[in-house]
Amino acid sequence: MFKGTAAHLCLYWRAVYLLAAGVALPSETLWLCPPPCRCNAAVLEANCSGAQLGVIPNGLPQDAELLNLTQNAIRTLVNQQFHTLTQLLHLDLSDNLLTLIEVEAFFGLQNLLTLNLSYNHLTIISVGVFAGLTNLQLLDISSNKILVFLDFTFRDLASLEVFLADDNDIVFISNQALAGLSRLQMLDLDGCNLTAVPTEALTHLSVLKSLHVHQLGLKTLPNYSFHSLLHLKELVITHFTRLETLSGNSLFGLNLTSLTIKHCNLNEVPYTALHHLVYLVSIDLSFNPITYIHGNLLGDLLRLQEFHLVGGSLVNIEIGAFKGLGFLRLLNVSRNLLTTLEVGSFHSVDTLKSLGLDDNPLACDCRLLWVAQRRLSVDFGRRPPTCMTSTKLQGWSLLEFSEEELQSLLTCRQARIVDRRSQDVKVDQGHSVAFYCSAQGDPQPSVIWLNPQLRQVSPVGRIRALSNGSLEVRYAQPHDSGMYMCVASNAAGNESLRVSLHVQALPSPSKKRFRLKSWLTFPSSPPGGDRNETLPFDVKTLLIAATIGFLSFFGSVSVCFIFMFFWSKGKGQIKHTATIEYVPRSAMNKSNTGTSNYMETSRFTMKLI
């Protein structure tokens, strides 16, 4: 009765208003609308937000397309709560006190496209709550206190494309929980407290394009974690604070264009796991304690355009680190421990449009000249790269030098080998030799040794390059002879020094018996050494020596035996048995009485032949 009167009054006033003003309808037209909601017939919207409602008001306009109930105090939704609002497209119930949603609460909302249930107090969602929402495309249940996703909870949401479930307390997602979400494209599980990757549950999401996961207590991402997500393009993993490694096949099956693994505990770029992601455009490994980007290991990512590693522990980006990445447009390595970034790390610096290098202890020398020279064409972000380690330029921004200053300030001193005296060494086989090579320059040069075959000598093995620049040859062999070369190099150039080694072979064993010394040196040669080294004597010699030795031994024994035989014959009568008596030690210690008893038993007879 009252409602009818109100409606008539409304119509009356609207007519009066229209007559009086003679203009088009104002945006806030009057419409059947329960107080304290504000309804707008022009956009078919019922705005009941912020009205301290404890329950859903009755009498909402039946042709409303948007019902906004946010910021109220609604606690429960009953069965078929909205069954009259069949035209509803958008329902916003966020920021209420919802703890209970009855089964089929949304029944009848077959046109609903978006449902926002975020910022409530839900701890569980029963199977059947979403029954009837056959056209729902977006569901937001983020910022609740949901603990588990039960089997088939979302099976009615066959049209769902976006599912936001971040910031809950989810500890478990059962294997069939996501069954039925056959059109889901985006799943956000940020801020959940899962203990394992829900690999099995994810297999239902065959068209998923974007996945965000957050807070997992894993140390290693297992193999085949996401194997069923063939259409996934974006994977975001954050705050797996214990995650140290990615298994080689952990990203198997994925064909990503964007990968983020942030705020984890990775100490190395997961080269092996990334290797097959040839369509990757952007990678973000920020806030991981990664110390190196090694050379020549990212070349498979040939379409990569962006590489972010902000806030890591990078001390070195090796030469060739981005080799093969011909489209790299952005590199952000700000807030690391880099002293330099060399041109040689890139495939080509001409593609680079954006470079974050601030907050690194940069040594401003010729290696960073290329950076300074690109101050107009490259975006360095808001904080410019600043010189830290060189005393004369301390605190200067790399971008504020003029062209002339650059050439005179950002300089290097070419590597120089300090002591160039000739080192020609002749030694006998089996001895050890050391060659010296120490270098100076700015930046401090690196020293490598090349063997006579011009291969680099490794820091381990019988022949090894020591960290102080020396070359050590242990247990020298004739085939070690030749010219060795020390190469000292830095960004400004290189210098080399040749030394020669001549190893005198030991006299051949066919002329003279091998010496004891050879026996001693051979087994003591190091296990890491050259395994193919020739023995100090050959096998034939060894066999001959053994044969001679055996024959002479056999001869002496035979002579001795024959002599003894004839001697014993000459002696005549011999007793062929011997009786030996003994007193066991323990018995003697025990007591002095009864010794005779033992004498009786402790006796045996031996037959002599």
Ligand X SMILES: *[C@@H]1O[C@H](CO)[C@@H](O)[C@H](O)[C@H]1NC(C)=O
Site of interaction with ligand X (CB under 6 A): 38, 47, 49-50, 68, 70, 90, 92, 94-95, 116, 118-119, 138, 140, 169, 191, 193, 223, 247-249, 255, 257, 279, 310, 332, 334, 354, 356, 379-382, 436, 466, 468, 470, 487, 489, 493-494, 532
Q: What is the 3-state secondary structure (H, E, C) of 305-352?
A: CEEECCCCCCCEECCCCECCCCCCCEEECCCCCCCCCCHHHECCHHHC
Measure Cα distances from 503 to 329, 481, 500, 527 in Å.
54, 6, 10, 21
Encoded tokens for 187 = 């799943």
* Closer residue to ligand X (CB): 532 or 586: 532
Instruction: Fill in the DSSP letter of residue 568.
Output: H
Which residue's CB is nearer to ligand X, number 146 or number 409? 146
Handedness of CA 18, 23, 24, 28 (dihedral sign): negative
What's the min distance (Å) between Cβ of 252 and ligand X?
8
Smallest distance, ligand X to C-beta of residue 585, A? 56
Find out whether 335 and 309 touch, Cβ atoms under 8 Å. Answer: no
Q: 102 vs 530, which CB is nearer to ligand X?
A: 530
Q: How far is the CB of 555 from ligand X (least distance, A)?
A: 40
CA distances from residue 281 to 233, 329, 386, 446 in whole angstroms, order as listed: 10, 10, 29, 34
CB of 451 to ligand X, least distance (A): 14
In whole angstroms, how close is the CB of 470 to ligand X at the nearest point?
Answer: 4
Residue 459 CB, shortest distance to ligand X, in Å, is: 11
Closer to ligand X by Cβ: residue 137 or 409: 137
Query: Quick one: which H or E segment has residue 566?
Result: helix 539-571
Would you say 482 or 594 has its CB closer to ligand X?
482
With beta carbons less than 8 A apart as the criterion, state whether 441 and 492 touch.
yes
Is the Cβ of residue 381 or residue 549 nearer to ligand X in the bound state? 381
In the complex, least distance from residue 114 CB atom to ligand X, rounded to whole angstroms: 7
- Least spacing, CB of residue 390 vs ligand X, in Å: 23
Beta carbon nearer to ligand X, 288 or 409: 288
Q: How far is the CB of 317 from ligand X (least distance, A)?
A: 15
- Name 222's Cβ contacts closer than 8 Å, sequence gap at least 6: 197, 199, 247, 250
* CA distances, 482 to each of 425, 470, 501, 526 (Å): 10, 17, 5, 22
Q: Which is nearer to ligand X, 426 or 479 (CB)?
A: 479
Enclosing H/E stretch for 567: helix 539-571
Return the number of the residue (495 or 515) whose C-beta is nearest ligand X.
Answer: 495
> Closest by alpha carbon to 216, among 200, 240, 238, 236?
240
What's the CA gap between 268 and 287, in Å, rounded? 12
As given in the structure block, the two tokens for residue 609 are 């032949």
